[in-house]
Amino acid sequence: MNHAAEAASELRTHHRLRELDGLRGWAALVVVIFHFTWEMFGAQLPVLRSHLPGPLNDGHLAVSVFFVLSGIALSIAFVRRRQLGSIAALALRRYPRLTIPILVTSLLTWAMMSSGLLYSDPAAQVLGRADWLGRFYWHPPSLTAALSFATFHVYADYNTSPNYGVFLWTMRYEMAGSMLVFGLLALSMALGRIWHHIRFPLLLIIAAACLLTAPLLACFVAGLLLSELLASGVLARAFAGGRGNLVGLFALALGISGSVVYRGHPGLPGLIAATAIVLVPLCSPAARALLNRRFSQWLGHISFPLYLTHSLVLCGPMSAAVVLLEKWEIGMVSIAAMIVPMAVTISLLVAWLFTPIEDFAVAASRRFSDGVLRSHLARHTLAMLERKLGSVSA
């Protein structure tokens, strides 16, 4: 196996931070709860728009947590081993890893639109959400448009193209943030020893620049910063012994406070709150134990399918149920009490059924990157780049 392929193999075998998988799963569940409570019924039942539950119903904070976690996941293997092949493998697999599941959900959306199985528009009239639910899937179904959305427009011009994934606005940030992380990792290799002296202030400066231009991208930089802290052993030394749980409690309090007081702010308050939430399991053994439990790990496994597919549950059967129950003249409180738990349960079931697609996307993206990196051209190019980067850093 060549050097690049070995680096790609390392990505599969390095110790995973399984507690962060669990945290990703709970964040995905928070997004689902947010959409089925705050957004779906909030106009009719303002009590569902309370800030007091903090991160438990804060979909905006959950998305920022996703991005911080992505920054860690995309960088931790390279930060631990510092091989250019690790960056190449991750960069090659990123597009197919995201696009395959998005393509399947876009085709499912097109099929439901074509079959008349989406009821978001009539439900919007009942719920008083013409400004949200009523804006979903307003265009006529087109297979060509669904394919182009999933393969290109979801990353490039989400707001102007026909939409086949109403909550996939995050994908343009996911792709841009991924490229930002890969670029910074390449820069770290080019700088060599200099990087170790300037990395923390430099990453803080870059995060500040992102806050001024595209605030959500700062979350990816925060994730890379946390990876550097993990790999350097700073976190392990700082929070050894009983200090970890105390620091974890403080970080959790900071995240909750940010959610309650600054909810919906994508700038510095949102960045601090999201980073604090991610820091909790990195510091606290008690939090790690909870997030490593079976249910949390199961949520982590279905997290991306859950995020992708719950819009179909919302716009399909749950919107139809709202319209039907309203005709029966059932009060809105009763409708919400029936719909919300049923919607969350069905969303979890659909996500679980979708996991074979998720697993296929992971395996296919790995096979693609491994195949490319084993080619003669890739080996030659990476070897040349490593020599150039080594000469620059020297």
Tens digit of each residue's pLDDT (9 = 90 or more) over 39-74: 999 999 999 999 999 999 999 999 999 999 999 999
Percent of the chain with pLDDT over 70: 90
pLDDT tier for residue 387 given thresholds of 50, 70 and 90: low
The pLDDT of 163-192, averaged and rounded, is: 93
- If you search the block for the tokens 């119903």, which residue do you land on? 57
Phi, psi for 199 (deg, rounded to 5): -60, -45
**CA nearest to 284, candidates 327, 311, 251:** 251
What is the number of other CB atoms lying within 10 angstroms of the CB of residue 333?
Answer: 12
Q: Give the pair of three-digit tokens for residue 240.
A: 């050894």
Residue 379, CB half-sphere, CA atoms under 13 Å: how many?
10
Give the residue extent of every domain in the chain: 3-116+171-301+363-393
Q: Give the pair of three-digit tokens for residue 336.
A: 């919400």
Tens digit of each residue's pLDDT (9 = 90 or more) over 291-312: 999 999 999 999 999 999 999 9
Helix (H) or strand (E) holding 386: helix 376-393
Tens digit of each residue's pLDDT (9 = 90 or more) over 194-231: 998 999 999 999 999 999 999 999 999 999 999 999 98
Most confident option among 32-36, 233-237, 264-268: 32-36
Is the pTM value of this prediction over 0.75? yes
What is the number of other CB atoms lying within 10 angstroms of the CB of residue 204?
Answer: 13
pLDDT tier for residue 5 given thresholds of 50, 70 and 90: very low
Per-residue pLDDT at 335 exceeds 90: yes
DSSP string, 346-373: HHHHHHHHHHHHHHHHHHHHHHHHHHHH
